[in-house]
Homo-oligomer: A and B are copies of this chain.
Amino acid sequence: MSESSPIPETRVLAVASHVVSGYVGNKIAVFSMQSLGCDVAALNTVQFSNHTGYRQWTGSRVSAQEITDLYQGLKQSYLDDFDMMLSGYVPGAAALEAVGRIAEELKNKAKSKPGSFFWVLDPVMGDNGTLYVAQDVVPVYRSLVHHADLVLPNQFEAELLSEVEITDMASIGRAIRVMHERYGIPHIVITSVSLPHPDHPVSSLSVVGSTMTSDRRPRPFKIVFPAIDCYFSGTGDMFAALMVVRMREAVHNGGTGSGLMQRQSWLSDDSVDALDLPLARAAEKVLASMHEVLTKTAERMEQTMEKARADMAADVDGVGIAGAEEAHKKKLHLLRSKAAELRLVRHLDSLRFPKVEFRATRL
């Protein structure tokens, strides 16, 4: 431990996209983990000027071969001694296969020391019913997900992995059961579930998590939290990065006597209740940080956009010219995208010392 960190020394391999400006992929994940004390090796799968939500960007992708080469570079210099791995967006099936081989190799290397390596996989495929990767990426995820220790699909990605259509809390429970049973995924958190439920306030979201028992039965819980009416990019990446830290912290805190950290996939005893899982403790802290950062981002965003609209209204040049309205709309979209970038560097304390308000309850 150190004055700066809630966890013991932790070396993480983070594989995801890099954007020059803004906060998605590794750009947000690396800082989130570093600011909580992780030694992060950041393998960037793309370098883009900004995230694709702006609808225009420049930059280039890294090939599958380059990903493999970078990992070989680490290996040859004894730099592959990772405690954890986090993988996010990977461009295309070949590159994803390369990342899968890295995870599998690290997993195999750790076999003689159970619990010494833990892979957090964010299976980035799409959202709200729309794929944003090529169709051939889906079967690759299905083929490698059994190596992962913790998988973090959103609702749509959970459907793709489980092949269960999710329409209510009961079907979400079925999707989780299928993922535990079919793939043996030890820990699952389905992020940003938006399903009506009589117990939930109208504008709320939830995450649903579960750690399987030794015979692959689910132990589901949910955490309900207020939705913020704004579309942010990078929230999934921030969630995943903070889960890396908080899961390790929860297992470390709950496990000194139990030796939980020396167990394969940090699996709690079958006697541990869903609401007492380290996974539930971790998700509660992560959501607390997220809610603070998102709230502060939304507040600031409103001010920024008010000013932007006023500036643009004052700038009447070109009004009436063909295409001016389109140009105006485009500029507003770009300014809104920038204003919605997550403001975590100004709110480090929200990452480090979140105040937990939303607690895990039964599904």
Q: Which residues of A contact B (CB under 8 A)?
A: 2-5, 9, 18, 20-22, 27, 30-31, 34-35, 37-44, 47-50, 54, 56-60, 62, 66, 69-74, 76-79, 331, 334-335, 337-338, 345-349
A99 → chain B, closest Cβ, in Å? Answer: 13
Main SS of the interface on chain A?
A: mixed
Report B-chain residues with C-beta under 8 Å of the C-beta of A38.
345
Q: Do the beta carbons of B74 and A50 come within 8 Å of each other? A: yes
Among B39, B72, B78, B346, the residue within 8 A (CB) of A334 is B78
Q: Do the beta carbons of B21 and A41 come within 8 Å of each other? A: yes
Instruction: A232 to B242: give the CA distance in the assembly, Å.
Output: 30
Among B50, B70, B349, the residue within 8 A (CB) of A20 is B70
Among B56, B71, B76, B345, the residue within 8 A (CB) of A77 is B56
Q: Do the beta carbons of A338 and B79 come within 8 Å of each other? A: yes
Q: Do the beta carbons of A58 and B70 come within 8 Å of each other? A: yes
Q: Do the beta carbons of B76 and A56 come within 8 Å of each other? A: yes
Report B-chain residues with C-beta under 8 Å of the C-beta of A62.
47
Among B4, B44, B346, the residue within 8 A (CB) of A346 is B4
Instruction: A58 to B80: give the CA distance in the assembly, Å.
Output: 14
Among B5, B57, B79, the residue within 8 A (CB) of A50 is B79
A1 → chain B, closest Cβ, in Å? Answer: 9
